[in-house]
Structure 1
Amino acid sequence: MAKETDNRDDLRNQIIHVFVAGHDSSAITIGHALFHLCRHPDKWEKPHREVEQSGGNFTFESLKNLYYLQYVVKETLRLHPVAPLDSRRAKQDTMLPTGGGPNGDSPIFIPKDSTVTTSFHALHHLAPCFQPYPEAFRPERWETVRPGWEYLPFGGGPRICPGRQLALTEVAYVLARMTQEFRTVECRDPVEEWVEEFKITASSQNGTKVGLYRE
């Protein structure tokens, strides 16, 4: 890209995107998953048994077949999308077809140069398909839930995150190896609730404090 432009802002933004997408997102999601699994040790047992039964020879396809582990990843991203907000600036006067009015089914006028921000965090909690108990960590809900545009941890459409499959594979592999290596997990965090720290990405302000045991 440096051969195509000398705009320092553009170059800086691209470098930041590489670090955020290539490093932060997977590590933060793994931390979020462990945050909840250590508070629900019974949900650690299920992927542990899954991995044992699979033989532990992990490939791209075999990780996809660890169904409960995939449910854990999906539920973690539902509760804590690493990029919980996304914004777009209108290049011209336009209309959103719905979202306005008392019932949310009227159009909304968007003037040129307005910034429209979407909250994926709110979407993942308010969507009807995630009711009831949207605040609860329940990987089992993914046995039946099949959301469309109500679940967007990587965005959607032509601008969906190009590293989506890489991130999902990294997270699944690390969690699979951890459940393979360690029999039980316990919470060692004096703070029970998840506290957000929002910078470029959203992560746990208090980190993830766990104990892992082989027996």
Structure 2
Amino acid sequence: MAIISLARLALGLAALFLARRVYWEATTGAHRRALIKQHGCLPPRKVKQRDPILGIDLFLSNIKAYKEHRLLAFWQSALTDYNAHTLMVTILGQTIYFTDDPENVKTMLATKFDDWSIGSVRIAQFRAFLGMGIFTNEGPAWKHSRDLLRPCFERSQVADVSMMEKHTKRLVEMIPKDGTTVDLAPLFHQLTLDVSTDHLLGRSTNSLDPKAEDNCEEFVEAFEYCQNPAKDNESWFRILTLFLPDRHFNRCVRILQKFVDDIIESEMSSRATKSESTPQRYVLLDELLSQTDDPRRVRSELLNILLAGRDTTASLLTNIFWELPHHPEIMERLRSEMAEHMTGPEPPTYEQLKDMKYLKAIITESQRMYPIVPQNSREATRDTVLPRGGGPDGTWPLLIPKGALVSWLSYSMHRRPDIYGADAETFNPSRWLDGEHHESSPLRPQWGYLPFNGGPRICIGQQFALTETAYTVVRLMQEFATMESRDDDDVWKEKLSITCTSLGGAKVGLTAF
């Protein structure tokens, strides 16, 4: 009897599986076949894997490359080795498509924006420590967050560089002026935190001010750990613990929350004493408090934007000052341009910064070679099609099934020789100046250059970040006559978390005029 019952159970399960398969073929399968026929889709190139089912081998290869600070180069070389711009892989049982094709990126971020989500995994990871805000919301909630932030980055707000001078002056005071080796990277992170909090909250953390009561060290350490819990892992076993509950992560989240909650509480207490007749610039915190009395919502919006305001600009500055000491001729040309547009030792104005084309080219070239977000992804919300990536040569349309993840590699795309020329691996700001690039003049990479994302979710604060970066570069060049690299390695290496910066920071020796 037991054998007969088991046989019936097995037969029933088989019939259920067959019925489910027939239903899938008649619905989802039929829809996908119609899309394939309509668009002429062909299968993508696949990476050869020893474990094509679970993809454990590729997962371990990724972990190894990450620990050796060469994950970006690892994926760039994979595309190069396969002579492809789109590849399909399996990692931990999930199918993922990697691409550095500008047309595919344009499709995801702009022309078929509604077919894509920022992804359930990303949302869950970010919300764990940021809460719900502009980086973790989608749909109407995201649009509302963006509308709240937009006035912060209007031209009138960005053009007021007086606030930047206050904090940059403190930065200069913190730097040794006798050629003593200093790592500018942590100072840049303090600078951008001070500027961001001043601009968005109406009060600065003043972490660069030695007289400040709170130096924010605990907040900064907690913020960095939450972004990248794997950074301190030194063994395979400890990396596997990322899949287990992390008590330290939870403690860091509480530190972040308390830090921002204290600012909110202080602002709410002081609002009654503020003069309503005194005109003030747009401050995000004030606007949030006028719209809601929910402290969790206010905290989440602030944490989301502080992540962007601090880390992205600090990483960009670090990469620039890693490169500049290696190129005396670039620094000399920059000084000549500054002398042409500025007179005397006075800090630059917004208009002067906008007129410095070579300065802009230096910043642009740094973002090309070392994109602050070198890899990003989208999850298909429905069966959809990318314009390229199918077929043996990768030029045919490619079907992307609902729920699949597509990751685009800005690091690799920004170094494509067919876009940037044979010297694509070389730091050369002149490539961005009309008439100066020997391969292609003028250079117009369009979607092949994506430092601030694109489409509806393009970075809303990009002009503020670029102005802060340009202002800081000019002020340091004004204050210091010589700049010598003190890095132990002449090869740039990646330090990856949510953003990417130089592993060795920006170790330099500076001598004042």
Question: TM-score, length-normalised on structure 1?
Answer: 0.90
Secondary structure, in 3 states, of the residue corresponding to 2:477?
Answer: helix
Select the residue among 360, 371, 391 that pairs with 1:81.
Answer: 371
- Which amino acid letter does the alignment assign opposite residue 74 of structure 1? T
Please say if residues 347 and 475 of structure 2, whose CA atoms lie closer than 8 Å, have aligned partners that are also in contact. no
CA distance in 2, matches of 1:17, 1:153: 19
Instruction: Tell me, yes or no, if structure 1 residue 12 matches structure 2 residue 131.
Output: yes
Cα-to-partner distance string for 1:81-113 (whole Å, 9 max, x where unaligned): 111111111111111112222332201110101
Q: In terms of Rg, which structure is larger?
A: 2
**Pairwise mapping of residues 58-97 of structure 1 onto structure 2 (< 5 A)?**
58-97=348-387
Contact 1:51–1:179, Cα closer than 8 Å, also in 2: no
Partner residue, 1:4: none
Equivalent residue of 1:174, what SS? helix
Find the counterpart in structure 2 of residue 126 from structure 1. Answer: 416
CA distance in 1, matches of 2:498, 2:130: 17
Q: Counterparts of 1:67 and 1:214 in 2: how far apart (Å)?
A: 25
Aligned to 1:149, the other structure's residue is in SS state: helix
DSSP-derived class of the 1:97 partner = strand
2:501 is the counterpart of 1:203 = yes
- Structure 1 counterpart of 2:173: none
Change (3 A) 1:118 1:48: same
Query: In proportion to residue count, which structure has more strand?
Result: 1
* Aligned twin of 1:3: none
Q: Is residue 2:487 matched to residue 1:177?
A: no
TM-score, normalisation: structure 2: 0.39
**Distance apart, 1:17 and its partner CA:** 3.2
Q: C-alpha offsets along residues 17-53 of structure 1, whole Å, 9 cap, x if unaligned?
A: 3232111111110110010101112111111121122
Moved over 4 A (4+): 8-11
Does 23-32 or 50-59 show the bigger shift? 50-59
Where does 1:50-61 land on structure 2 (aligned, <5 Å)? 50-55=337-342, 58-61=348-351
Cα separation, 1, equivalents of 2:130 and 2:468? 27
Could you say if the C-alpha distance between residues 181 and 10 of structure 1 is closer, same or farther in structure 2, counting changes exceeding 3 Å? closer
Counterpart selection for 2:449 from 124, 127, 151: 151
1: distance between equivalents of 2:429 and 2:396? 34
User: Do the aligned residues in 2 keep the contact of 1:79 with 1:135 (CA within 8 Å)?
Assistant: yes
2:326 to 22, 39, 42: 39
**How many residues of Structure 1 are paired with residues of Structure 2 in the alignment?**
208
User: 2: distance between equivalents of 1:128 and 1:13?
Assistant: 40
In 2, distance between residues paired with 1:107 and 1:84? 25
Match of 1:214 in 2: 512
1:23 to 286, 307, 310: 310
CA contact (8 A) 2:130 2:304 kept: no
Partners of 1:101 and 1:59 lie apart in 2 by 53
Q: Secondary structure at the match of 1:183?
A: strand
Query: For residues 132 and 484 of structure 2, what CA distance do their matches in structure 1 show?
Result: 39
Query: What are the Cα deviations for residues 110-138 of structure 1, in whole angstroms up to 9, with x where unaligned?
Result: 01011111111111011523111211110
Answer yes or no: is 1:49 the counterpart of 2:336: yes
Asked if the contact 2:385/2:400 (under 8 Å) is kept, the reply is yes
Q: Does 1:135 align with 2:433?
A: no
In 2 relative to 1, CA 32–13 (structure 1 residues): closer, same or farther, beyond 3 Å?
A: farther
**Equivalent-residue separation in structure 2 for 1:192 and 1:10 (angstroms):** 36
Q: Which moved more, 1:53-62 or 1:66-75?
A: 53-62
C-alpha deviation, 1:184, in angstroms:
2.2
Which one has the bigger helix percentage? 2
State the secondary structure of the residue aligned to 1:50. Answer: helix
Q: Percent identity?
A: 40
Displacement after TM superposition at 1:57 (Å): 5.1
Displacement of 1:11 in angstroms is: 5.1
Inter-partner Cα distance in structure 1 for 2:318 and 2:336 = 21
Alpha-carbon RMSD across the aligned residues, in angstroms, is 1.8
